[in-house]
Structure 1
Amino acid sequence: MKKAYRLKTKKEIDFVFANKKSVKNQYFGIHYIKNIDQPHFRFAISIGRKYGNAVSRNFRKRQIRTIISTIQQLLNHVQFVVVVYPKSSDLSFEDVKKSVLQLVDQATLTEKKQ
């Protein structure tokens, strides 16, 4: 995934949190804003230290980036932050994928292909 698709600075991430709409479940939260001026989507992943050690946090972030890359063709004009809660540390990849995709559908971040 290209770095152009990532929210990088604290200012950009704070802007999303300040103007957000959000959807959550017990494992993840997605905070998002729709931005028509932007040609593609941008995202960040937030995962706290209570989740586990650095290896497990980075592993979960890689999994989420992989999930988002599978649906990147459907994501347009949106900035979002995926918040990972510590309760999700016991989930398998398939459960993580199902949970994240369900939240993306709830937030209507994807555009239907015609």
Structure 2
Amino acid sequence: MKKEYRIKKSSEIERIVKSKKSKADRYFVMYYNKNHENTHFRFAVSVSKKYGNAVKRNKIKRQIREIISKCDIKTQSDVFIVVKKTTGNLLFQEIQESILNLLKKHDIYEVKK
């Protein structure tokens, strides 16, 4: 993923969370906000230290980035994903299904062909 697709500043993440547009399931919380300043989507992933050691946290972040990169996300949107501790030992397919369902709930997901 290119740097322009990532949200790095905590102030931008706070703005997304304050928009109060969120959907959640057993494994993830996804915050969404339209951003008319950008011409593309951006996203950030947060994994608590309670989830596990650095290897586990980085693995789940890599998997989520891969899932997001395979999607066509509608332009001018910011997405912030929080990984819950219950995600534990999910398979990649289960993580993908959960993330895609949350993207569909926000109506920002299209399948690449």
Band the TM-score falls in, shorter-chain normalisation: over 0.9
Work out whether residues 76 and 111 of structure 1, in 8 Å CA contact, stay in contact via their aligned partners in 2: no
In structure 2, the gaps of 5 or more residues are none
Residue 18 of structure 1 and its aligned partner are, at CA, apart by 1.3
What residue identity is the alignment partner of 2:87?
A: S
Q: Calculate the aligned-residue CA RMSD, in Å.
A: 1.6
In structure 1, the gaps of 5 or more residues are none
1:25-81 deviation line (CA, Å, top 9, x unaligned): 01001001012342000100011011000000000000000000000x333110010
Q: Distance in 2 between matches of 1:112 and 1:53?
A: 33
Q: Distance in 2 between matches of 1:45 and 1:23?
A: 15
* 1:37-56 map, 5 Å: 37-56=37-56
Q: Distance in 2 between matches of 1:44 and 1:112?
A: 20
Partner of residue 89, structure 1: 88
Give the structure with the larger strand fraction. Answer: 2
What residue identity is the alignment partner of 2:65?
A: R
Identical counterparts, % of pairs: 42
- CA change 1:110–1:19 in 2 (3 A) is same
Q: TM-score, normalised by structure 2?
A: 0.92
Partner of residue 18, structure 1: 18
Q: Which runs of 4+ in 1 moved over 3 A?
A: none
1:101 matched to 2:100? The reply is yes
State how many pairs are aligned: 112
Partner of residue 74, structure 1: 73
